[in-house]
A and B are shown apart, each in its own frame.
Chain A
Amino acid sequence: MNAKTAVNKTTLENGVRIVSMTMPHVRSVSMGVWVHVGARDESEAESGLSHFIEHMIFKGTVKRSAFQIAKEFDAIGGQTNAFTSMEHTCYHARVLDSQFATMVDILSDIFLNSVFDEREVARERPVIFQEIGMVDDTPEEWVHTMMGPALWGNHPLGRSILGARENILGFDSQILRHFFGRLYQPDRIVIAVAGNVAHDRIVDLTAPFFSAITPGNGFAPRTTPADGHAIITRHRDLEQAHICLGMPGVSVHDPRRYAASLLNTILGGNMSSRLFQTVREERGLAYTIYSFLTSYADTGMLGIYTGVTPQDVAQCLSLIMQELQKLKDEPVPEEVLRDAKRSPKEICSWPRRARTVR
């Protein structure tokens, strides 16, 4: 136990970890079942499987139908959600503390006993196609998605988390079950809980379920992509030209991540940042302009997004490049650094490409 932050951790015999923070001043409890497996752990033919499984987890277990799962979550008044990122898949919920045991029962059941019924797979496939269509119809999302292949090519980190349509057409119950059994290994599972519940009670309630997971049969080692410099453009009849730039960033483990966080804040992380002030406030070229950090276990990216009138693309890109060059040429003034340090301290940036369901 970490006395200062009241963080507790228990590791079950099979390697499943339970971490918790007791927050006696709140009335709710948030619980997440995390799997350290995501889109980057898929082969090209498997691309989209992690995300498909994330959807299917809510589609029926040995003892609950998809409707019963939805109904029981609603009955305890909880907020339930799930997401898939490049390196994680997470199933989480938040309920009043009095409903914690019921939440554990439902979350454990859908995670451990999902049946991946063939009829439900067929029903979910068009839902995922609609999700892909939604991204295609959202220009800001689209330019971010395309940054993957532009920076990292055909490496798994360069692919869409949602997967290719042809892959999704081919996924069936057996493929989903095989992938789940192979990669959802106990030593990659973390149960995280924060709220008004004691650690011992969390362990008492979750351990009987999660102790039953046995190791899978193989986890392919992750590889680190080389940074690329590709340019990908696509015509579409829109008012704005949506632009995304991607450059090498830092990994989650890089000791320079704290400096990277401040660099990002100064460049385009808030309203007083250089990009916001130069491009929007001084010249009125864009409504939205920001920079962002995405960090993974072994690599990362610093990105910039903006949307401008097509005839302003050249001027806007030129201004962005000038600001990047300025960061390379001139030390940041002390007062600017001091102000940046007052911004929220978010270091391990949330992967931008996480896809959420429900």
Chain B
Amino acid sequence: MAEESPDSQMMRLAQNECYFGDDIPMQTVIDQIDAVTSADILSLANALWSSGSPALTMLGPQADRINPEVLLHV
């Protein structure tokens, strides 16, 4: 759907040029996504989240009295 919108294409072109210095065709993206396996996702989750608790922000009633540090331990 994004391919039909000039705004989306303009933004995609610009981002690809800024980051990669080239156009990354949509088909390349689709092929790369199709190549991802369950093992890739499992491996990624373990690689990214091996260093402890997430950072956390909270806004609301009595948020300052909650101790989320305790809640974030799994």
Contact = CB atoms under 8 A, between A and B. Distances in A.
A19 B57 contact: no
Nearest to A31: B10
Interface stretch (A3-11, A51-59, A172-180, A271-279): A3-11
Main SS of the interface on chain A? mixed
21 contacts: A28-B6, A34-B18, A143-B59, A194-B10, A235-B62, A236-B60, A241-B61, A243-B57, A258-B35, A259-B41, A260-B44, A263-B45, A321-B72, A327-B41, A327-B45, A328-B42, A332-B42, A337-B41, A345-B30, A347-B33, A350-B11
Contacts of B30: 345
A248 B41 contact: no
Nearest to B40: A259
A206 interface: no
Given A19-B17, A310-B63, A313-B58, 8 more contacts: A17-B17, A23-B6, A229-B55, A233-B59, A234-B64, A258-B29, A259-B36, A321-B72
A147 B36 contact: no
Contacts of A34: 14, 17-18
A125 interface: no
B57 A150 contact: yes
B74 A192 contact: no
Contacts of A31: 10
> Which residue among A9, A144, A259, A330 has the maximum number of chain B CB atoms within 10 Å of its CB?
A259
A142 B60 CA distance: 11
B57 A317 contact: no
A233 B64 contact: yes
A268 interface: no
Nearest to A266: B41
Contacts, number: 245
A347 B11 CA distance: 13
Interface in A50-103: 87-88, 90, 92, 94
B44 A20 contact: no
Contacts of A220: none
A344 B71 contact: no
Interface of B: 1-2, 4, 6-7, 9-11, 13-20, 23, 25-27, 29-30, 32-49, 51-66, 68-69, 71-74
Interface stretch (A104-112, A113-121, A249-257): A249-257
Nearest to A141: B59
A241 B59 contact: yes
Contacts of B63: 233-236, 241, 310
Contact of B17 (A9, A90, A253): A9
A236 B60 CA distance: 5
A233 B26 contact: no
Contact of A331 (B11, B39, B51): B39
A237 B7 CA distance: 40
A127 B6 CA distance: 30
A134 interface: no
Contacts of B6: 23, 26, 28-30, 94, 194-195
Nearest to A247: B54
B38 to A, nearest CB: 4
Nearest to A310: B61
A30 B68 contact: no
Given A236-B63, A248-B51, A147 B41 contact: no
Contacts of B68: 231, 233, 313, 317
